[in-house]
Structure formats: C-alpha cells, structure tokens
C-alpha cells in the first residue's frame, strides 16, 4: 500500500542529508567529544528509517541497494581485523596507536587506529538496527 504524502516525502529528502551529515560528524568526533561509532550508527539507521517511513520498501531498496546483514557482518569483521593488526606488530591484541600527522590538505590531524575499530562498530550497529526493523515490518 502506497502512502503518497508529498509534504512528508519532500521533507524527508532534505532531512536525510542533514541527519546523515550529522551522523558522520558524530562518528569522527568520537575521540575528543561526545560521540562515537555507536550513536553515529544509530543516527544513520534513523535516517534510513525516515526513508522507509516516507517511501516504499521497494523504492528504498532501489536507492540503497545494499544487504544490511552483510554490512553488519563486515563491521564485526573490521573490528576483529583491527585487533589482529596489532598482533602482527608484536603487541597485545587490540593495542591502539594515536599520533598527529601533517596531511597535505587538512594540516595537523590526529589519526588513530581506534577510529577503524569505531568504523567497525558503526557498520555493525547500522546493519543490525536496520535488519531488525525491516524483519519486524515485513511479512515473511
């Protein structure tokens, strides 16, 4: 059953951009400010939920042609591989490095391996949340 509400759809088209940008900001701000992978993933999942509310399941499937189960698995795999990357250098599992680097465009930037772990958490949270809500809402 279609629910063609033009006002909701137009607002959703603008709002999804704002929510997505804010979730990416939250993901990157996690080291020094409140934020991180978990709430960043939840905010991204809420943006996708807004798309599901405003449009069909089929339309959103065409916009984002991804299997969210795979995304969750990739996130967990990424977090695991970050831990094993530390083992390769002869230090304990999940040891993290943080140092300042002079990048050409961004200037002095703090790069840490904890961010890759956070990215894994982010992907796992997005995949799990969207999969749960989709599997509740669909008739199997």
Partner 1 sequence: MEQIIEVVFAILILLGAVIAVISVFGLIRLPDVYLRSHAATKSATLGVLLILLGAFFYTWFVHDFFSIKLLLGILFVFITSPVAGHLNARAAYRSGVALWKGSVRDDFREAIKQERQQEIEEIKKQLKN
Q: Report how far residue 48's alpha carbon sits from residue 63's, in angstroms, rounded to the nearest whole number.
A: 10
Work out how close the CB of 42 gets to partner 1 at its nearest, in angstroms, rounded to a whole number. Answer: 16
User: Which residues contact partner 1 by CB under 8 A?
Assistant: 5, 7-8, 11, 14-15, 18, 22
Which is nearer to partner 1, 7 or 106 (by Cβ)? 7
- Judged by beta carbon, residue 40 or residue 75, the one nearer partner 1 is 40
Q: Which whole-number Å values give the CA distances from 65 to 15, 115, 128, 131, 136, in the listed order?
A: 20, 26, 16, 14, 19
Q: How far is the CB of 11 from partner 1 (least distance, A)?
A: 4
Q: Which is nearer to partner 1, 53 or 70 (CB)?
A: 53
């Amino acid at each position: 059953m279609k629910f063609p509400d033009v006002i909701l759809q137009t607002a959703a088209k603008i709002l999804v951009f704002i929510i997505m940008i804010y979730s990416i900001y939250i993901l990157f701000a996690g080291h020094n400010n409140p934020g991180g992978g978990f709430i960043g993933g939840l905010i991204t999942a809420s943006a996708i939920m807004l798309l599901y509310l405003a449009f069909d399941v089929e339309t959103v499937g065409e916009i984002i042609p991804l299997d969210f189960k795979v995304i969750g698995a990739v996130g967990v795999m990424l977090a695991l591989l970050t831990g094993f990357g530390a083992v390769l250098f002869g230090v304990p599992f999940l040891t993290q490095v943080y140092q300042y680097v002079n990048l050409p465009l961004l200037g002095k930037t703090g790069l840490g391996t904890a961010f890759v772990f956070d990215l894994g958490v982010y992907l796992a949270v997005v995949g799990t949340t969207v999969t749960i809500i989709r599997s509740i809402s669909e008739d199997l």
